[in-house]
Amino acid sequence: MSGKILFKNYKIGLGILAVFFIILSVTLHLFHNYFLFRLLRGIICYTTLVYLFIAHGKNIQKWLVGFLFFYGASSITTVWYENGTMASISMILNFIAFLMLLWYIVPKFNLKNLTKKFTLLFILMILVNGYLFFQLIELMKEMTLNYTQYLFMVLSAFCGLLLAFLSLFYNHFFNSKLSMSFTLLVFLIIFAEIFRGIAYYDLGHSAAFVYLARILLVLSLYTLVHFSFLDLKNVKSIKTLTT
């Protein structure tokens, strides 16, 4: 029964939760409670995971569970990000979380469907976004605490680029609400990560980037939940057609 209620009203419920977490995040930051501010990032991820377990039960997607678990764990370990070991663990967990998203999208990719247009788009994306990504990481390099942290920062950036390309291809080829939701999810996460890095390493107007990063995180998880409902609905529709 709870799953049906959540399914029917999940957008309203998620909207209320999103506003609550954004206001709470801003409040904690304004009061300089950085410990709880960082911890809240993980709490938001695990609240989303619990929400989906209640809504979907045993039907919950495995890659989604993996993403939220590792992304939440990565977020919690940032509480001790000034410690070299914890910073490395945080970046490793963040990289694994990105691999969970690749777990979903890679099987959707078929080289036979890759046109010249998308080949050129991929090359352009790698050249332009790759340059910008690694320029940003190079700015952060001197502020990283050890090589492991830096290495997994680079690997996460590469995963972000790959996810961006694959999600654009996925949306172009399928052109559905499902594919558009996943593409939006990927880009919200990527920009949330970029703004979080800029804010943490004080590369810009840090307060503005702090709030932008947190708002985009909350919106990305809102989109993730919406996507999970669409995905399960799509799976049920396919099963109905094949039986």
Q: What are the tens digits of pLDDT across the range 217-226?
A: 999 999 999 9
Name the token pair of 165. Answer: 């390309």
Q: For the purposes of burial, counting CB atoms within 10 Å of the CB of 166, is it exposed (0-12), middle (13-18) or buried (19 or more)?
A: buried
pLDDT of residue 241: 55
pLDDT of residue 224: 96
Instruction: Give the residue, 184 or 2, on which the prediction is more confident.
Output: 184
Interval 25-73: pLDDT, tens: 999 999 999 999 999 999 999 999 999 998 888 999 999 999 999 999 9
Question: Range with the lowest mean pLDDT among 53-62, 122-131, 192-201, 208-217?
Answer: 122-131
- Tell me the C-alpha distance between 80 and 203, whole Å: 20
Crossing angle of helices 147-174 and 177-200, in 10° steps, is 160
Count of structural domains, the chain: 1
pLDDT of residue 72: 97
Question: Range with the lowest mean pLDDT among 9-13, 60-64, 158-162, 213-217?
Answer: 9-13
Query: What average pLDDT does the structure give for the chain?
Result: 87
Domain that holds residue 49: 2-242
Question: Range with the lowest mean pLDDT among 106-120, 136-150, 166-180, 195-209?
Answer: 106-120
User: What is the chain's length?
Assistant: 243
Decide if pLDDT at 164 tops 70. yes
Residue 82's Cα: distance from chain center in Å?
23
Decide if pLDDT at 1 tops 70. no
The answer to whether 159 and 95 are in contact (CB under 8 A) is: yes
% pLDDT > 70, the chain: 88
pTM score, whole prediction: 0.89
pLDDT of residue 243: 56
Name the token pair of 115. Answer: 């046109």
pLDDT of residue 101: 97
Decide if pLDDT at 124 tops 50. yes
